Amino acid sequence: MGFSRAAGLAALALAAAACGGSATARLTADELRDPETCKTCHPTQYAEWSGSMHAYASDDPVFLAMNARAQRETAGATGPFCVNCHAPLAVREGLTKDGLDLASLPQAKKGVTCYFCHAAQSVAGTHDAPITLASDDSLWGPFTDPVAGTPHVAKTSALFDDTSPQSAAFCGSCHDIVNQQGAHVERTFQEWQGSLYAEPGKGLSCQQCHMDGSDGPASNVSPRTRRVHKHDFPGVDLAAPPFPNVDDQRARAQALLDPTVQSTLCWNPRTSQIEVTLDNVGAGHGFPSGATPDRRAWVEVTATAGGQPLYASGGASSLPLEASPDLDLWLVRDCMTDAAGAATGLFWQAASVEDDQLPASLTANINDPRSFMSHRQRTFPSTPGQGLPTTPDHITLAVHLKAIGDDVLADLVASKDLDPSVPAQLASYTLAAAALDWTPATAKTKTDPSTGLPRLCATSGTYNANVTPAPSHARCGP
């Protein structure tokens, strides 16, 4: 017992010497910039970050393929545009000019590192990483009373306060991208700004959704209870294995996405058509957001009668999506066009972007007409006057999401920028809250206020009884 207690005290003393205490020497600049140093005192945060897309940002094979192709096709004019967010510390230290040499750089300089975020002193714009780092090796955080004797200068900043709009601007500075032709190819921060979630005192910041909070110590040497946040940053994208915490990341991403979209499925006996309404209730921005020109979200609808297939759209026979013969396919994405007005899937060629996402919520009040502005609706079959030949006795609905479209990946493989083994490893999801299973016995009768005629509906959310949303689908190009 005595030996164990002594060993424990000795270990605690060593940890204190490394992480704080009155005699602790300040970390060198190189030590501060190495995430392995942070692991000594913040092992939980390090473990979470090490499996995140922030840690993966410079090693992501799709990013590397996109950047290599962009550099080649623009004769190097793309420059640091991509690596400014994917390897921001390496850019600021002059270690790379175009990201083509990332494999030769120390791992500590790659990805979105602990130091890069926590050395952020100010944000001077809304897109393309206009972040200024501290010049005195200060590290910033949310606490107004940092523990004395830390091996680095600790300061507080509103950029790290998840209740402050400034914290969303910090995240948004990299999660809004305007390309070199002025096309707004990623708009997550802008979408958040126009939503309910940005309302002061009512909304939610990026961190409040993507960095779950809990009470506990912020380091392994301080017993002080803090409000601390997870550093795994779940979202749509996932690392292709092998990478730390792959299973945990997938589970976290699935849990975040599952409640995002609610749906309503109605049978209209007057038109003999299926009506599907999707409502973005859970994302603090558009759905699916992020690199939306590359995202592919779509709706699968099946109908049967007497156990026999009656109608199907968006299922396996509709794949691959971009080349699908399914004329009713409801595909949610953005479309990009180049300077000549031709469709393009390459972000560096885009001169304009057509937004076809599910918009973020504007109000939490279901009696406010704006509550239905986040809805989008389609009918199946989509051709007016061409309904199903008989009434279904079973209809199912599912909403699927792929982080990156098969067509985008196939194009990168064909150009020999992406290894053919990668596409099969990338993230795909089916959203739990959007799934519906309709039968006449379980459906509820709803009245269309514009016609006074009934519909038989199933819903996972709020039935749209007041407003008929505009149709929405996206087939880019001719």
- Helix (H), strand (E), coil (C) string for 32-101: HCCHHHHHHHCHHHHHHHHCCHHHHCCCCHHHHHHHHHHHHHCCCCCCCCCHHHHCHHHHHCCCCCCCCC
Rounded to whole angstroms, the Cα distance separating 292 from 353 reads 10
Backbone angles phi and psi of 361, in degrees to 5 = -65, 145
Residue 263 burial (CB count, 10 A): 22
| Tokens representing residue 54 in the block | 């922030």
pLDDT of residue 10: 37
Mean pLDDT across the stretch 317-332? 90
What is the pLDDT at residue 262?
94
Question: What confidence tens digit (pLDDT) does each residue in 231-269 have?
Answer: 999 999 999 989 999 999 999 999 999 999 999 999 999
Half-sphere exposure of 218 (CA within 13 A, CB side): 14
Is the model's pLDDT at 9 over the cut of 70?
no
Structural tokens at position 83: 């690596």
CB atoms within 10 A of CB 10: 10
User: What does the alpha-carbon distance between residue 123 and residue 115 come to, in Å, rounded to a whole number?
Assistant: 16
Distant-in-sequence, close-in-space partners of 158: CB < 8 Å, separation ≥ 6: 164, 166, 167
Taking only the tens place, the pLDDT of each residue in 431-476 is 999 999 999 999 999 887 767 788 999 998 766 555 555 556 667 8
For residue 13, is pLDDT > 80? no
pLDDT digits (tens, 9 = 90+) for 98-125: 999 999 999 999 999 999 999 999 999 9
Type of residue at 275? E
Mean pLDDT of the chain: 90
Q: Please indicate, yes or no, whether the overall pTM of this predicted structure exceeds 0.85.
A: yes
Q: Kindly report the number of other CB atoms within 10 A of residue 390's CB atom.
A: 11
Of 136 and 19, the one with more pLDDT: 136
Q: How far apart are CA 14 and CA 8, in angstroms?
A: 10
Residue 372 confidence (pLDDT): 81
For range 212-230, the mean pLDDT? 92
Residue-wise pLDDT tens digits, 369-399: 888 888 889 999 998 889 999 999 999 999 9
Pairwise CA distance, residues 349 & 343, whole Å: 10
